[in-house]
Structure 1
Amino acid sequence: MSRISLHPRLDNGYRYEEVSNFSGGTLKCLCENNPVEVAIKAQIMYNHACGCSKCWKPEGAIFSLVAVVGKENVKVLNNEDKLQIVDESAVIQRYACKDCGAHLFGRIENKDHAFYGLDFVHTELSNEKGWSAPEFAAFVSSVIETGTPASKMSEVRNTLHDVGLPTYDCLSPELMDLLAIKTAKLKGTYRD
């Protein structure tokens, strides 16, 4: 069995114990003093390991852990003045702490985007137990763009499979369907 370091919560056997009535928790940036704190007031959906070059990853990790939740369930509690958008031209407006660089959430402002109304959140920045477990790995090949040797990709995929995550070089089929449905609706070609 091949083992390559993916992310501390995946490598160290972090146990996800989803709780049926789990109502969220608090994300905190990495600052020891005056951290940015963001409340997530619902259970997350589509939790996944993401290898894209835009997502924030903890030091030494080649994947992030990111999920979505309705934007109405995301509220900055403390130190909002420390947040900045990483790349204002990106589809997902990623809000990061100016001091430590950790991304806390990302928001899509384009009302025509299939994921409008959903915020991307990094529950890896929460100490609460009860979040939904990662379901898949997305944008796996993209880890090559961030420095993982191409010769290690078989090892990366084997390790992801070993921890129970199907691998995709895009999003999961269900999320890709949502993108295609939105596009078809905008073009007037959608049929149920």
Structure 2
Amino acid sequence: MSFKLHPSIDNGIKQGSDSFSGGTLHCHCQTSPITITLSSNVLHNHACGCSKCWKPSSATFSIVGVIPRSALSITSGASKLFIVDEAAVIQRHACKECKVHMFGRIEQEHAFFGLDFVHVELSGEIGWQEPRFAAFVSSTIEQGLVAPEEAEAVRKQLRGLGLECYDSLSPGLMDVIAAFVAKKNGTLRASKL
């Protein structure tokens, strides 16, 4: 059984370029689209199964990466943006007309403050960092996208694409969150290396 994971990975993952220096994202509006310019490549690009990230229709996962806030600028259509859920930690800015999420931003104290979340599939340029892992795989069950007995088949399909699967974020990103909390609590230990 094969699942529709996401159009950009269903037929294999295209490798990005280490020298890629950014590009432009566009919402799906045919006239007067929102345009976001990114002045660098993304980091930590991944397939995300959470219920909050924007996904193309019929996709089980979104593809989302992070970029420094300073590398993102709204170059047209800012008046068309709205925040999907103002109470969410990641405030996802979407188009009022086509509903595509253009970027997510954290405005409160958080380990990822200063990073914006973006969907590079909204760009026509080639070279963006490829997805490197799959996060929140179990969340696809909660949303009714995958039956519990199908979850391991989804993980197998993701692993077949070279994406390690997690039911949170990757270990490196979870370490960033844990270090942020430890520093805030005064319990951050110095490395013995």
TM range (shorter): over 0.9
* 1:77 CA displacement: 0.8
* 1:60 CA displacement: 0.5
Per-residue Cα deviation, 1:148-167 (whole angstroms, up to 9, x for no partner)? 22222121111101111000
Match of 1:81 among 79, 82, 101: 79
Q: CA–CA distance in 2 between the matches of 1:171 and 1:14? A: 19
Q: Which runs of 4+ in 1 moved over 4 A?
A: none
Q: Percent identity?
A: 52
* 1:54 CA displacement: 0.4
* 1:4 CA displacement: 1.3
Look up the SS of the partner of 2:116 in the other structure.
strand
Alignment correspondent of 1:5: 4
Alignment correspondent of 1:183: 181
Matches within 5 A, 1:50-69: 50-69=48-67
Instruction: Check if 1:165 corresponds to 2:160.
Output: no
TM normalised by structure 2 equals: 0.95
Alignment correspondent of 1:125: 122
Q: CA–CA distance in 1 between the matches of 2:51 and 2:160? A: 23
Alignment correspondent of 1:96: 94
* 1:188 CA displacement: 0.4
Instruction: Check if 1:134 corresponds to 2:126.
Output: no
* 1:21 CA displacement: 2.2
Q: CA–CA distance in 1 between the matches of 2:74 and 2:124? A: 17
Q: CA–CA distance in 2 between the matches of 1:157 and 1:32? A: 36
Q: Which runs of 5+ in 2 are unaligned?
A: none
Alignment correspondent of 1:116: 113
> How much is the aligned-residue C-alpha RMSD, in angstroms?
1.0
Alignment correspondent of 1:155: 153
Look up the SS of the partner of 2:53 in the other structure.
coil
Q: CA–CA distance in 2 between the matches of 1:91 and 1:130? A: 29
TM normalised by structure 1 equals: 0.95
Alignment correspondent of 1:107: 105
Q: Which runs of 5+ in 1 are unaligned?
A: none
Which one-letter code corresponds to 1:127 in the other structure?
Answer: G
> Alignment length, in residue pairs?
189
